[in-house]
Chain A
Amino acid sequence: MEKKFEVKDLITAGVFTALYFAVTFVVACIGFIPIFMVFLPLIGPIFTGIPLMLYFSKIKHFGMITISSVIIAILFFVTGHPYPIFIFCISAGLLTEFVLKAGNYQSIKSCVIGSSTFSLWLLGMVIAFFFGFRESYFASLIDGYGQEYVDKMMGYTPTWMFFAMIAMCLIGGLIGGLLGAKVLKKHFRKAGMV
């Protein structure tokens, strides 16, 4: 168990982050419809939880999830999301790290909880709708998307929605984690791949 951190781990992190990112990206496309944007933190983790659980089952060392979260943050930052995404991603990654560590990287229960805490990074994507970013963000949206869209989005996102989104992330991640555990049990344990 207590082996050194290897290049193999970095490659595993890279491949699975790519898979995770791709699934996130596909799911995020439905977020273009205003009402789904609000439920993205709930729907997203349900689907991404499945590959995430497989990734968790491959993790043996401290630090891999943090690396994944840093990579996700960089990718989203480069494609035009505001900087707070770094804060959310890295703290979600670290939190998940400790959750998995508590289960000694083996317990399925802590993996499921980890999947729920890891999806908190999604908050970094929607933070622009809230708090100090709100006014300037919506102002910049008006001439691109039109007043109607902005009014709709503003209606959907009162401040309490942010806290509801935290809950959505956690619940979505939990469902995704359970679903992932089920898929792992059904397909991967039999094949001896976990």
Chain B
Amino acid sequence: MKFGLAAASQKSILQLDPRTKLCLLIAVSLIMVGGKTVGVEFILRILCAALPFVLLLTVRAFKSALIYVILLGISVFCEGCVIPNLSGTPNLVLMILCGILSRFVPGYMMGWYTVRSTSVSEFITAMDKMHVPYFITIPFSVMFRYFPTLGEEYRSIHDAMKMREIGQSVKNPFTYIEYVLVPIMMSTVRIADELSAASLTKGLCAGGRRTHICEIKIKLYDWLLMFGSMAMIALFFVF
């Protein structure tokens, strides 16, 4: 499974504009993290929880959609059926765990959808159209590109440690952190250099206005979704 800003030609049923995705992301995380579970906000929460699931299906991320539903299902089930029957410490622990799961997971899934379904050039084009200055856009796109690499690096380091039979035997947490963090930092420095070399060949520092090959347009359903998320945020603040 590919993580990170997707290739431009990723097949998707619903081609949303990155700006729409950003709107939806803000709406989902605002409402899910800060919302109450009664009244109008209850309906808003259901909508927001369903949104990442539907969107993940549109990019054919079936596995993550399934994981998302299971996680959310478990936490809702626990909140509804298990927690009222418990008391004391288990109640508290489960309550916090479920509270965190049901609050933060939809936002992260939405973020994951955004990252997965947007290519770097789409992202940069959209940011350019929003008149975001380049000194914000470039670090941001580098960052999204770098997150998946970070995961890969961590796994490789983990494997290397396992092969040399380090890892389990390291009891001191500071030593363990040193063993993991130092190689990651080394590779970070190297990757930063490589990326700047790549950007040099692509003429990123040439100055002047950049043109774009990929087309980004706000279509009808983009307007609808954007309006919808605005309305949700408005409702959220009113009630």
Contacts and interface: CB of A to CB of B under 8 A. Distances in A.
Contact of A80 (B91, B97, B107): B107
A51 B183 CA distance: 11
Contacts of A148: 91-92, 95
Contact of B205 (A7, A19, A149): A7
B185 A10 contact: no
A143 B36 contact: yes
Contact of B196 (A8, A18, A143, A145): A8
Interface stretch (B57-65, B137-145, B218-226): B137-145
B184 A19 contact: yes
A20 to B, nearest CB: 10
A45 to B, nearest CB: 14
A145 B178 contact: no
B139 A67 contact: yes
Interface in B192-238: 192, 195-196, 199-200, 204-205
Contact of A18 (B34, B38, B134, B150): B150
B107 A19 contact: no
Contacts, number: 143
B92 A15 contact: no
A130 B188 CA distance: 37
B166 interface: no
B185 A11 contact: no
Interface residues of A, number: 47
B135 A10 contact: yes
Given A7-B205, A10-B139, A145-B99, A15 B36 contact: no
A54 to B, nearest CB: 5
A51 B91 CA distance: 38
Contact of A145 (B96, B111, B139, B192): B96
A146 B136 contact: no
A84 interface: no
Contacts of B139: 10-11, 13-14, 17, 67-68, 71
A32 to B, nearest CB: 6
B156 interface: no
Nearest to B142: A14
A7 B204 contact: yes
B35 A12 contact: no
A15 B96 contact: no
B12 interface: no
A71 B95 contact: no
B196 A14 contact: no
Nearest to B151: A22
B44 interface: no
Interface of B: 22, 25-26, 29-30, 32-38, 83, 91-92, 95-97, 99-100, 102-104, 107-108, 111, 134-136, 138-143, 146-147, 150, 177-178, 181-182, 184-186, 188-189, 191-192, 195-196, 199-200, 204-205
